[in-house]
Structure 1
Amino acid sequence: MAHTPTAGDTRIGISGWRYAPWRGRFYPPKLPQRSELAFAARQLATIELNGSFYSLQRPESYQRWHDETPDDFVFAVKGPRYLTHMLRLKDVRVPLANFLASGVFALGPKLGPMLWQFPPQMAFEPERFDAFFQLLPRNTQAAAALAREHDSRMAGRTLLPEGPRRRLRHAVEIRHESFCSPDFIALLRRHRIALVVADTARRWPLLEDLTADFVYLRLHGDKELYASGYDDAALSDWARRIDAWRHGTQVTDARTASPRAAPRRARRDVYCYFDNDVKVHAPCDAAALAAKLGVARCLK
């Protein structure tokens, strides 16, 4: 299942990197904590930034993460829970501007998709989600314009996009059964936003509708949420699915909410993150899946 020039960019990584149980197991003994990102980024091609979900980070943090990773590395950035869990998408224009101004664009070309995760209690409301999707910027120029609307709390801690215009991608992770709807899939396709393929040990919906020019996966554990690893058979099945998606096709056994198939594409980029970190499965599973797909890396 080798990576071919006709396939989309395929990146397999982990959700976060700073976990105490990983020290001495994934990370070499006595590796300084400040060196953990640099080590992880040489083993894997992408990492999901989680800190941005809990609070606004600072430009100097994003700049440091940029500087500590290889030139071809990519970060996914998790959008603030303040918008998704607390405000529940109501009156979020200025909070979104604050996030966009907080320094995320210091990542430069290493900025990959932005992830928006919604709580299990939040149901699908078409008008509310349509309004939010319209607000999300699709390139750095639009992001800079919106970021300038930040409020006074951001004084002295902002950084706006600079340089050539680059596109921005967005993905959403849902956790309520009401999203298992053809109307929601149609809305995502209209806005070209990816639906996260989320494996959550059957706790929340797992959908594989293709809704954008890329696919975003979060593998939280197939038997025990955040804890269980993936055996060779499970990894081989995910490799089969990813290989179809990166070549622009759909698997015949796809779990979908819409009867309408996505248009076939020449290729789709794929971003996959293991979030089964409790027992140190995530980095090992990510490396194994990358090897199956022919995209393993280990930079010295």
Structure 2
Amino acid sequence: MPPTPIQTTHNSLYRLGCPVWNCDAWKGSVYPATAAKDRWLSHYTKTFNTVEGNSTFYGIPGPDTFRRWADQSADGFRFALKFPRVVSHERELVGAETETGLFLDGLQILHDAKRLGTSFLQLGPRFGPSGLAALQLYLDRLPSEFPFAVEVRHPAWFEGGLEKELNQLLEFHDIDRVMFDSRPLFASPPKDESEIKSQSRKPRSPIRDFVTGPRPMLRLVGRNDLSAADPWIEEWVPKVATWIRDGLQPYVFLHAPDDAFAPQLAMRFHNALAEKIHSLEPIDSWPHSVEVQQQLF
């Protein structure tokens, strides 16, 4: 009997996903080995119930793309899309009304199709507390019916009084604060090119577990050596379990320097969480892994 996809086992409890839905290395595991690329999203959404949509950071898709994503995704799936970098990094929230409007138009399509998850605004490393007024004005103008999260990276945001102001602003709007944990990535020297590249690009933000909204978002960056992330998975799992028991619906995204390993990291996280939340079913294998086994024997 094929394993039960994640999407149907914990849809009402928490959301688990990867940073992409397209990865050639997932053929024969997340996707059927012979699946055409234009079917990968459909298969991904039958395994996971969310995805960290980084593609919208680099450009705003047209309405037809948002409609296609909605049409190709399974019931219960939610897209967690990143705000465009022209808004967050280039304009730093000022004078970005046109781009924001285009992005929100796309989110509205997903919302109407019941496919909209938490969209997250990742502020750049230059955007510090001096931009608090701009952030407040920007959040005031976002539609309250959409779920949002904010990730900060400037070191000054992690200082006492300033951090308290940030959290209070997010709490006022029921907006979640993204928890970004790259400790596994930097715990030891890189072992391959993908880890070298990842260490050069990812920040070492201080670790926080503040809950400011109903959907806490954790982005955990592991290693290509899956077991290397286990100590941090073991640290986060009890917190995620507590959020679930408190009636929150966490979003958890597992990153690896090489995207090929992200589903396996997600599996490790889910199985560890299933030991705490017994209504979750452990994952023994991926839906299409049997195809690989059949090819080997």
Q: TM-score, normalised by structure 2?
A: 0.74
CA distances 1:173-203 after superposition (whole Å, capped 9, x unpaired): 1111111122211221122211101112361
- Please, which runs of 5 or more residues in structure 2 have no aligned partner? 1-10, 187-203, 275-279, 289-297
- Please, which runs of 5 or more residues in structure 1 have no aligned partner? 1-6, 140-167, 249-266
Superposition deviation, residue 54 in structure 1: 0.9
Question: Residues 299 and 278 of structure 1: is their aligned pair in 2 closer, same or farther, counting only changes over 3 Å?
Answer: closer
Q: What is the SS of the residue equivalent to 1:184?
A: helix
Superposition deviation, residue 22 in structure 1: 3.9
Q: How does 1:1-300 map to 2 (within 5 A)?
A: 9-23=13-27, 27-101=31-105, 103-107=106-110, 108-124=113-129, 125-139=131-145, 168-180=146-158, 181-201=163-183, 203-221=204-222, 229=226, 231-248=229-246, 267-278=247-258, 280-294=260-274, 295=280
Question: Residues 117 and 132 of structure 1: is their aligned pair in 2 closer, same or farther, counting only changes over 3 Å?
Answer: same
Q: 2:14 and 2:218 mapped to 1: Cα distance? A: 11
Q: What is the SS of the residue equivalent to 1:246?
A: helix
Superposition deviation, residue 279 in structure 1: 5.2
Q: Aligned residues: percent identity?
A: 26
Superposition deviation, residue 130 in structure 1: 1.0
Q: 2:142 and 2:82 mapped to 1: Cα distance? A: 14
Say if 2:30 and 2:47, in contact at 8 Å, map to a contact too.
no
RMSD over aligned CA atoms reads 2.4
Q: What is the SS of the residue equivalent to 1:122?
A: coil
Superposition deviation, residue 85 in structure 1: 0.6
Question: Residues 228 and 220 of structure 1: is their aligned pair in 2 closer, same or farther, counting only changes over 3 Å?
Answer: farther
CA distances 1:132-189 after superposition (whole Å, capped 9, x unpaired): 11111112xxxxxxxxxxxxxxxxxxxxxxxxxxxx1110111111111222112211
Question: Residues 28 and 8 of structure 1: is their aligned pair in 2 closer, same or farther, counting only changes over 3 Å?
Answer: closer
Superposition deviation, residue 288 in structure 1: 2.5
Superposition deviation, residue 95 in structure 1: 2.2
Say if 2:14 and 2:250, in contact at 8 Å, map to a contact too.
yes
Q: 1:128 and 1:104 mapped to 2: Cα distance? A: 22
Say if 2:118 and 2:148, in contact at 8 Å, map to a contact too.
yes
Q: 1:129 and 1:191 mapped to 2: Cα distance? A: 12
Q: What is the SS of the residue equivalent to 2:118?
A: strand
Say if 1:217 and 1:273, in contact at 8 Å, map to a contact too.
yes
Q: How many residues align?
A: 243
Q: Mean alpha-carbon deviation: is it higher for 64-73 or for 21-30?
A: 21-30
Q: 1:129 and 1:42 mapped to 2: Cα distance? A: 36
AA at the equivalent of 2:150:
V
